[in-house]
Structure formats: structure tokens, C-alpha cells
Amino acid sequence: MTGLRFILLILLAAASPLKASDGYELWLGHPPLSESEIQGVAEGLRALCAPSRGALQQTARREILEATERMLGSALAPVETVDQEGVLVLGTPESSSIIAGLDLADDLETLSEEGFLIRRLEVDGHPAIVIASAGDRGVLYGTFAFLRHLQVHRSLDKLDRMESPRFRLRLLNHWDNLDGSVERGYAGRSLWDWEELPEVTDPRLADYARANASIGLNGSVLNNVNASARSLEPEYLHKAAAIAGEFRPYGIPVFLSARFSAPMELGGLSTADPLDEKVSAWWKRKAEEIYRIIPDFGGFLVKANSEGQPGPLTYGRSHADGANMLAAAVEPHGGVVMWRAFVYDPEPGSDRIAQAYDAMKPLDGEFASNVLLQIKNGPLDFQPREPFHPLFGGMAETQLMPELQVTQEYLGHSWQLAFLAPMWREFLHADTHAKGPGSTVTATVDGSLFDQNLTGIAGVANTGSDRNWTGHPLAQANWYAFGRLAWNPDLTSEAIAREWIAMTLTRDEEAAATVERLLLESREAVVDYSMPLGLTHLMWEGHHYGPQPWCDHLGRPDWNPTYFHRADEEGIGFDRTKEGSNALAQYHPAVRSRFADPATCPDEYLLWFHRVPWDFEMKSGRTLWEELARHYQRGVDWVEAAREKWSGLKGKIDPEIHAEVAERLEIQERDATRWRDACLLYFGTFSKRPLPDGVGGPSQSLEEFRRQDPLDLEGP
């Protein structure tokens, strides 16, 4: 390393912010280490002994060489033997004779083929670091884990880690359309340019796959669950194959959402009845065609008989009939079917949140072995807070797969800060009591409680063509957090936040602590200023941005906010006890009894499960109206304080990112105030009680709020 280059490197590393970042590199920028850090790492990391066999191991080798050169100022020297101190050995027993000769067989046997170990040990008499796995994917994931360790901890002391992912499938679901638009997308257009494919492939495709692999994700569903049958035409299959080719070096197979009526729309059949022999034969031929074009195709995601989508119920068949027919088509090729449980088309008058359970529970045990029932975390629709879906723990004979929403459809789009790791942890660690205490949601789906063989977890993606991928710069943390929790659902929100901050924003300890607090508190703040105490689905119609609690004119009752809050002069909330809709009966007795009594029901779910009067005494001793108003005010206060704290980070965060986040926090404060004012004005028409002291008064009338679409305001 030349003296001038070394001086420039140290000057860059010494600065607190991670400089010159527009967000494109995500958490993979690998900025230079400081002089002391370089010296500490360089003593134990001097050379790389890694095979070039196989695409995934070649990718791992390249990642190590490029990242260490950026962090240390010079690349590791490639070697073929361990004849010195400080060699990093990478590979599998099949690809590396060195690893094959080490005493690692018992450890590797305990890991999955995607698992890895990272360990300091002696190799041929020399201290070395080994990244080993039984499979090529595990080598790649171990490589990224090692680089993450260097970025976050910057120490090689006491390295001894063994990890396997808890879920076999760890997927992003893209609700992308063939015209380039993205349903519920807030970061530009689709990453897939269908018009240019397959002749032209955007370099971002490989960068996207690399980012996913770096956090342990292993698949992408390319198209919207509200699918077009054209996605299965040969023209589009070849386009999907071009995407798959860009993803393959990072171990990311592609999946497709399948339109159930495709045999009619593409095949000219008169029916899509899953029990019709011609229909099942058509799907088998289509599967054979797909696997000829995309040999490592993962399988189908299906939304059926939901929100106007075609499905098996049209023909008097069950959801299991439909899923199993498709499963039989892909099973010879090793494919899977993910059948979404987001269905609500029941008898008039039944409770919307109970409908998916009522539809799916009777089918427990009827789904094929390569089918996963994909279920949203809550029984409604990705709201800022919901109790866990009762199907988790309720279908012991069916392979279940949680579906989380990374894109912020109901949490302020890409204009508001809402770090979702705490929400997902709340869900994953909720106790279903399916087999007594400790039967967490995670245990019901990771195979540990019900011996589930095929496991998975899906996240509805928040990526788009915006330069920084996610619109809001800090929304990248949700993509990162989903991948980390998909790999290990026991990771804490704090640990995930610290990792992401250290790799993306700043190394300044005080600044990092401030950002961590903002991230960890942000989702609860959104709940406070939008839908506290179990209120839900108060969003503006259509785009779901901003408040519209008065909305009562939509096509069916359970699309309207008034259906969910049921406010009148007597009180507010939805009674789901046995005196009401009895949706609580879908939970196991211990959960049911806790939620059924207002005295033991947590405040955050009170109005979800109970209808209570405005003067109901809360656990705080305040009335419901006072508590509701104070929550709304607390949310606004948090955003005001967050703006001030973020402003204090100027000079410690990249200027471009700092300015953009500051602008969006300004919009968030305006929106939080609007939520508070509009909701309290509206609910106040029923409660007929004054606002408590300390709760701000509205700046305009209720009628003005009712006339003004939030997306028409300056900013969003």
C-alpha cells in the first residue's frame, strides 16, 4: 500500500459518518477501517485459501477479496495452502481438502446445508480462520456473516460461531406488475424491466440478489399476487429466466404468482376446475415448460378466491383441492406451492377477522406435503398492530408460513419512519399456547412444535427503482431486519438495529445510540398517533395513507373503518367475546381467557376485542377517552422530539441522507398531527367530552379534514 493511499484511507475512516453514500450500497459498502482496526485485523487476516469451484463459492471468494480490500486497503493474498499465520480458509469438505482434513465432520453434520461455522483454529500448525459448510449456500452465507462481523465488531478474537437458518424458505414477495408498476410500492417502479428483458438485464438485478443473500434470504416471488396469466406465457417465462440467471450466483431462485384461471385464459379451456383432468394436465405441462426454461424454479404463490381473484371455490372445490392440484404439477421438479390464507368472503354478518380461520381450519391435514399455507401475521391485513393470527397454533397438521409486510402500506408508506423489527418480534414470540405455555408462533411454524418438514417465511418487499432502493433511507432497515429475523427469529430488535446502523450510517457511538433509540421507538409512535388501544383500519380509502375514521360508503361493510371501530355515543370498539362475534373462540383457551376479560386484556388490544364506554376506567386510572387522547398526543410528541434528535446528528450522518430523513420527519410530524386532530375530532362527536390537558387542539374543522385527501397535501 502506498503511503498516500494509506493516509487517504485513514482520513476517510476517521470521520464519524460513513461518507459519500446515497444509500445504493445498502449495508454492503464495507467502508475503510481505522488505522488501529486495520492493524488489529491484518495481524489475523493476511491471505485467502478458497476454492473457485461452483458459482456460489466463486461468489463467496469474490465477496471476501473485494470487501477486505475496501476495509483494509489491500486485498488478501490468494494462497493454496496454509503455510503462514492469518489465512482465511473457505469451502466445504468436497471443495477444500484442507477443510476435509479438519475435525469438523460432527459439527457440520449438525448444520443444514445452508448452515455454516466460523472458527479460529490451528491448520497445519498455523493459526487460521475457517468458514466451513456442508453446502455451497452455507459457504456464501458464512462469508457474509464473517464480513458483517468485521464491519460491526471489527475484531477477530474468539471467533466461534455455528448457525443454520430456522426456516427453509426465506422469501421476498414482490407485488410487481408487468407494466412496471408496484402494488403497495413506495420506492419507484419495479426492479424488473419486463419490456427490456430478456435481451437487456439491469445491473441492479445482481445487486438486489447480492443484498438478499447477504442477509440470508433465498428466494424471490417476481410478480403480484393479483397475478396476470401472461406471467406464465413463454415470452414472460424467458424474461423470468433472464432474471433467474442474474440471481443464480447468489443462490436466489425465482418463484411466480400463478393466476388460477390461467388454463382458461392461456390454454383455451372452458373451466379451471382443479378436479378436471384437462385442467390438471394443463398445469403439469405448464410446469414442465417452466422447468425447461428455468431449471431451478422454486414454485408458485397463489392468491385464490380473495378480492376478486379466481379460485377453486368457484367450482365447488376446496382451497386444498386447488393447492394440491398445483402441488402435483410441480412436485416432480422439487417445486412448492404457497397458498395464501388471505380470504374473506363469508356469510353476511360474520366477523371479517374470523373468516380466514373459518375457511381454512376445516382443511387441516388435507394439504399436500409440498404445500405451505401462507398466512398474514394478524387476522386482518398488515395493520400497525394486530394480535397474532389464530391459525398459528390452530392447524397442527398443516405446514404454515408467516407472511409479513416489509413495505409500509398501513404505516405511512415511505414517508414515515417505522422500524418494523419490534412488531415482527412481537408476533413471532407471541404465545399461542397450542401445546401449553411457550408455544410461540415461531415454534408453530419452524418445525419444532408440530414436526413441520417444509418451513418458510415471506415478506412483502419494499424495494423499487429509487436510487436508495426503499424511498425512505431508513426503510432499508426493514428489508435488513426481515432477512435477519427470517434467518434467526430469536435475534433482538436492538441487535439488528445496531448492526444496520454500524454498516450504513455512523460509527460514532453517541450518534449510533440516538439512531437506535429512534428506530426502536418509531413503530410504537406510529401506533400511538394513528390507531392506539386496539383501534384498527382507520386509513383513507384506496391508498391507505392518512386517517379516514368516518368512512362508511365503500362497497362492502368490512372495507369501512366504521365497521371496525363502531363508535357511537355509548362507546367504541369491536366486541369479539362470546357476547359479540365470538372470534376469540378461535384462540386456545389460555389466550382466549386473557383477552376475554377487559381487566386482563392488554391495553394495546382492548378495542380490538372489546366494546367499552367512553368513561371505562383504564389500568392507568384514566377514562378511555382520556387515555385515547393521550396516546394520540404521545405519538405527536414523539415525532416532534425525533425531529430535534435527528437534527442534532448533523455532521455525524452523511449529509445527503441526513437532509432526506429530516425532510421526511417534517412530513411525518405534519401527518401525525393530522391523525391526532382528525381522529379526536371525529371520535369527540360521539364521546362529547373535552380534550384532556396537554392534548393539542385541532388546527381545522372536522369537515375540512373530511374534504382533504391526505395524498393531496404538499410532500407525499
Q: Say if 684 falls within a structural domain.
A: yes
* 30 pLDDT more than 90: yes
Torsion of CA 536, 541, 543, 548, to 10 degrees: -60
| Domains contained in the chain, number | 3
Residue 301 lies in a domain: yes
| Range scoring the smallest mean pLDDT among 125-129, 515-519, 710-714 | 710-714
Same domain? 458 vs 563: no
Do 154 and 204 have their domain in common? no
413 domain residue, yes or no? yes
The reply to whether 335 and 350 lie within a common domain is: yes
- Cα distances (angstroms) measured from residue 610 to each of 483, 527, 567, 604: 35, 18, 12, 11
Domain that residue 640 falls in = 528-574+611-712
Quote the mean pLDDT of the chain.
95
Whether 223 and 356 map to the same domain: the answer is yes
pLDDT at 447 over 80: yes
In a domain, 600, yes or no: no
The verdict on 147 and 200 lying in the same domain is no
Amino acid at 591: V
pLDDT of the residue at 20: 52
What's the CATH code of the domain at 155?
3.30.379.10
Reported as a pLDDT band with limits 50, 70 and 90, residue 428 is very high
**Is residue 529 within a helix (H) or strand (E), and if so which, with residue range?**
helix 509-530
CATH no. for residue 548? 3.90.1330.10
Domain finish residue from 138, 163, 188: 163
57 vs 92: CA distance, rounded Å? 9
Q: Is 703 within the bounds of a domain? A: yes
Q: Residue 344 has what pLDDT?
A: 92
pLDDT per residue as tens digits for the range 182-192? 999 999 999 99
d(CA 163, CA 597): 42
**Would you say residue 393 has pLDDT above 80?**
yes
Q: Is the model's pLDDT at 36 over the cut of 90?
A: no
Q: Is 646 exposed, middle or buried (0-12, 13-18, 19+ CB in 10 A)?
A: buried
Give the separation between CA 285 and CA 278, rounded to whole angstroms: 11
What's the CA gap between 196 and 208, in Å, rounded?
A: 18
Q: Is the pLDDT of residue 715 over 80?
A: no
What's the CATH number where 330 sits?
Answer: 3.20.20.80
Mark whether 286 and 323 lie in a shared domain.
yes
Residue 518, in any domain of the structure: no
- Judge whether residue 53 has pLDDT over 90: no
Instruction: Tell whether 559 and 641 lie within a shared domain.
Output: yes
What pTM, to 2 d.p., does this model score?
A: 0.96
Of 46 and 4, the one with more pLDDT? 46
Residues 70 and 195 placed together within one structural domain of the fold: no
Digit-coded pLDDT (tens) for 664-674: 999 999 999 99
Q: Are residues 174 and 56 part of one domain?
A: no
- Return the active site residues: 307, 381, 409
Q: Which of 170-184, 338-352, 626-640 has the lowest mean pLDDT?
A: 338-352
Q: Which of 147, 163, 179 is the C-terminal boundary of a domain? A: 163
Query: How is residue 131 annotated by DSSP?
Result: E
In a domain, 521, yes or no: no
pLDDT of res. 4 = 41
For residues 68 and 157, membership in a common domain is answered with: yes
Residue 482 in domain = yes
Residue 319 host element (H or E): helix 319-330
* Mean pLDDT, residues 246-259: 98
State yes or no: pLDDT of 457 exceeds 70: yes
- pLDDT bin (cut points 50, 70, 90) of residue 716 is low
621 and 681 fall within a common domain: yes
Q: How many CB atoms lie within 10 A of CB 712?
A: 9
Helix (H, G, I), strand (E, B) or coil at 388: coil
**Is there a single domain that holds both residue 467 and residue 404?**
yes
Domain boundary among 163, 181, 212: 163
User: What is the rounded average pLDDT of the residues 657-682?
Assistant: 98
Q: Over 556-607, what HEC string results?
A: CHHHCHHHHHCCECCEECCCCCCCCCCHHHHCCHHHHHHHHCCCCCCHHHHH
Q: For residues 256 and 252, what is the distance between their CA atoms, to the nearest angstrom?
A: 13
Cα–Cα distance for residue pair 253/504, rounded to 1 Å? 27
d(CA 118, CA 160): 6
